[in-house]
Structure 1
Amino acid sequence: MFLPEIAKLGHVALVTPDLEKSLWFFRDVIGLEVTEEVDETIYLRAWGDFEHHSLSLTAGEKGYVDHIGWRTKRPEDVEGFARLLTKAGTEVKWIEAETERGQGVAIRFQLPSQHTFELYYDVEKPVVEEGRRSVLKNQTYKSWNRGVSPRRFDHVNIHTSTDASLTYEFLENQLGFKMREFLKDDDNQTIAGWMSVTPLVHDVAVLSKPQAPTPARLHHIAYWSDNMQDILRAADILKEQGINFIGPGKHGISQAMYLYVMDPGSGCRVELFSGGYLIFEPDWDPIEWTMEERSVGNTYWGESVQDKPENNITIEA
């Protein structure tokens, strides 16, 4: 009998107090494609994303993340995870098909950090109309249609004021994530972990933030572009729009190129991301970083989010 598995990160469901401004930012500036608008929720994806959406925008009184969605490897894995999680004492809520547009039956539950995860398998892959469709049969939309135009959804970074070690254990033991790189404090406690279910360095990063105003926070979502030149081009586009940003720079952890920018509608931070490395080794030893090495790990070179306290604001998740 196979244990259930997660295949990949799917989407983030974002609530925004200014839907019009968030739509402008993600569609016209970042360059995501709108797949559908249903019941005041707008679904978007990057030109290289294949699922119905990698981001949804819904109007609300404040900016927050409703849930983070992950696609399983097999249809039966949704029920398999439901059984395992319930047996381990986690409350599981079943979500009927099409409750979220373009998606089949799903389950939702909370991590020890109180972030809400959703697991599903069945998804719609909408046919793109001819005017927006790429001539490449292995690509969804025409590339570079507008704005920054990242290729695909890459990862999420979440913060918690709870004991982060419980969430690392939950992700590893209940959901099958692997620790790839981690940071320990001077008391030998892991306070940041980069974890994945794919060869990516991280599909999710979890950081301990005892001072956070609520237990579950979102630091950023990330969209991936092909190369560093794309990130430099993004900086020009943002500057032309009068939008402030952090970077470009390079992380030591993940070795990726980055730029950070805030959605002015919701307060959601977006990382525009490129480079990095992939992990194919089955016996990968997680990379440990110490507090003395933290500056290199966070910012190998370039401007750092850590240097700008006003940019460390996170939204509720």
Structure 2
Amino acid sequence: TLINPGNHVKMQEGTLGFFIASDAKEVKRALFYCKACHDDITDPKRIKKCGCKKSKNSYNGYIKSIEEDQQSALSPKKKQRNGGTRNSPNSSPKIMRHDPLLIPGSEQIETMDENIKKYDSTGMFHWCLSKDIEKVLLTRSEAAMTVLSGHVVVCIFGDVNSALIGLRNFVMPLRASNFHYHELKHIVFVGSLEYLKREWETLHNFPKVSILPGTPLSRADLRAVNINLCDMCVILSANQNNIDDASLQDKECILASLNIKSMQFDDSIGVLQANSQGFTPPGMDRSSPENSPVHGLVRQTSVTTGANIPIITELVNDSNVQFLD
């Protein structure tokens, strides 16, 4: 084990390294380093991905893709070990893409191919092909027409000048591979698009992530993402260090929390359940709530006030917790 090895140390091929840096771009320099192209470079910032270095390990992928049709020749034990049978054939995500009444035919809400399970190179996290941020953006109308339920709403305050807080560290535990794919909760970020664009480079390989550009203080944005049906609402701020007055550092998070708690919601789930009888697929047992197209919404019927929404609010100063009640 070597900690902060000096220039005199020659690393052998296959050495596992752990990098601690303020930015992921700094770590990528070690990944992109090529002796033929970068040997004479004195400024580390000039180390870029070169054309002569071909990726043998698909470092842009960070995956191991497991296809069930390719696993058919494997033994059942090996098939299970590789994750080929992670999802039950009877299980399905709460967001059903193929129902035109539930999702408005857009590409924002991603549904993983049932026959393919993808994980990162460590096998510890669910993974997907990198997506452009434009493909995960939701408008208010698209978000409102999407039956989001049991999801995680992340209200984030930040702008183009805010320090990055590292949303990747927030998302990673929610994408752990010990969850089945259908158990992953959809994550919807509500906040400044300029800020989220800066964070997106570290988030674009995680599945089931959407962004609603807006502000957490807008009730229209919060209603559009069905905040009353979420499993958890998390309020974060990247602007806290920009304020010198300690009593005002948590202002945005506190206002957002109080705004949500004071919201009122109609109990419209009963209407959805009644209307679902009209588009229930043939052969489906309509009397069973588990077979309902809005399964997962039933337990949320009591949420008619924001005070009943589970909220985690980030505070810099513990004394400011008094303002949350």
- Greater RCO structure (CA 8 Å; 6+ sep): 1
Give the strand-richer structure, 1 or 2: 1
| Higher fraction of helix | 2
Q: TM-score by structure 2 length? A: 0.23
- Give the alignment's TM-score, normalised by structure 1: 0.23
Q: In terms of Rg, which structure is larger? A: 2
